[in-house]
Amino acid sequence: MPGLTKFQKYAISGLGVVGGAALLYYNVYGGGESMHVLNSWTTNFTPSVQWEHNWDRREPKSLVKPVKINSESDENRYNEDLASQKVTATRNLFLIRHGQYNTNGKTDCERILTNLGRIQAESTGSRLVELNYPYTLIVRSTMSRAQETSKIIEKNFPEVPTKDDSLLEEGAPIPPEPPVGHWKPENYQFFQDGARIEAAFRRYFHRADPKQTQDSYTVLVCHANVIRYFVCRALQFPPEAWLRLSLNHASITWIRISPSGRVTLRCLGDTGHMLPQNVTAN
């Protein structure tokens, strides 16, 4: 068997890096025959976790009553009902964390933005303008710091409708794993907040309505715990992993929900639009 050249050894070691990616390479042992490394889904590979396609309960087939096909007419009617549930638009959700605020405030009314927090909100508003999307709706948490952040952002979009939603208030969504020693809410908080935050997720995270013809761009101004939980749920990660994520103040997290129900995280906690000295998290 001939020895391997340095290049051939490098090529072989590279296979371990690319894993299941499709490759075409020549047999380094001679013979001149090409060999194929197949994609993982063409082999007997079994994923550790499978994507739940009907995660939002809006998969078209789940919305159409099954019928027994006895004729071509029955089949046509079923296909028409199925087509009526087909989604063509994409939902875009921009999740904005509030700006830095006065953590010494004893009540929500006292937990207003600091001067830096207002600067952060202004920067994020300008960034949303630069992105130049046709924003459909701005929804804000009813807590003071989110209200103030949103209203600063809203100055850039006087024509975009707004609404308040108490479901988006900050809270303890689910006991985190691994636990954090310095943060131990009472169990009742998880029961109360968790149900509310999950209800907020179900309200905003779903594929578009079949009647929606244009892509939508919704801005949700809320809180770090809520956004982190939303991201885990939307990507079908373990929801108890939410505390492993970190978000800066007034950061932008962008989630895209395609007509097929596939979810894409376009960015997480983006503050690249801010001056470095203005970036804070705690």
Q: What does the pLDDT look like over 129-159, one tens digit per residue?
A: 999 999 999 999 999 999 999 999 999 999 9
- DSSP annotation of 40 reads G
**Per DSSP, what are the bridge partners of residue 270?**
252
Sign of the torsion formed by the C-alpha atoms of 114, 252, 221 and 139 = positive
Distance CA 23, CA 38 (A): 7
Please, what are the domains in the chain? 6-42 (no CATH), 52-86 (no CATH), 91-278 (3.40.50.1240)
In tens, the pLDDT along 22-55 reads 433 344 444 555 566 666 666 677 888 899 999 9
| pLDDT score recorded for residue 115 | 98
Distance CA 155, CA 140 (A): 14
| pLDDT score recorded for residue 187 | 75
Distance CA 268, CA 253 (A): 4
| pLDDT score recorded for residue 40 | 62
| pLDDT score recorded for residue 152 | 98
Q: Are strands 162-164 and 137-140 parallel, antiparallel or unpaired?
A: parallel
Name every residue whose Cβ is closer than 8 Å to that of residue 58 and which is 6 or more positions away in sequence: 87, 206, 207, 261
Distance CA 186, CA 201 (A): 22
In tens, the pLDDT along 52-79 reads 999 999 999 898 888 788 787 777 888 8
Distance CA 223, CA 97 (A): 5
Residue 4: band (very low, low, confident or very high) from pLDDT cuts 50, 70, 90 = low
| pLDDT score recorded for residue 153 | 98
- CA torsion 184→226→117→219, rounded to 10°? 180
| pLDDT score recorded for residue 69 | 80
Name every residue whose Cβ is closer than 8 Å to that of residue 101 and which is 6 or more positions away in sequence: 111, 112, 113, 114, 117, 144, 145
| pLDDT score recorded for residue 47 | 80
| pLDDT above 60 (res 217) | yes
- Specify whether the CB–CB gap between 281 and 129 falls below 8 A: no
Q: What share of the chain is helix, strand, coil (3-state, %, to 5)?
A: 35, 15, 45
User: In angstroms, what CA-CA distances link 108 with 64, 113, 146, 169?
Assistant: 46, 11, 11, 11
Which two structure tokens, joined as six digits, stand for 112?
Answer: 């207003």
In tens, the pLDDT along 183-216 reads 777 777 888 999 999 999 999 999 999 999 999 9
Q: Let me know the angle formed at the C-alpha of 227 by 191 and 126, rounded to the nearest 5 degrees.
A: 150
Cα–Cα nearest to 58, from 166, 211, 191, 247? 211
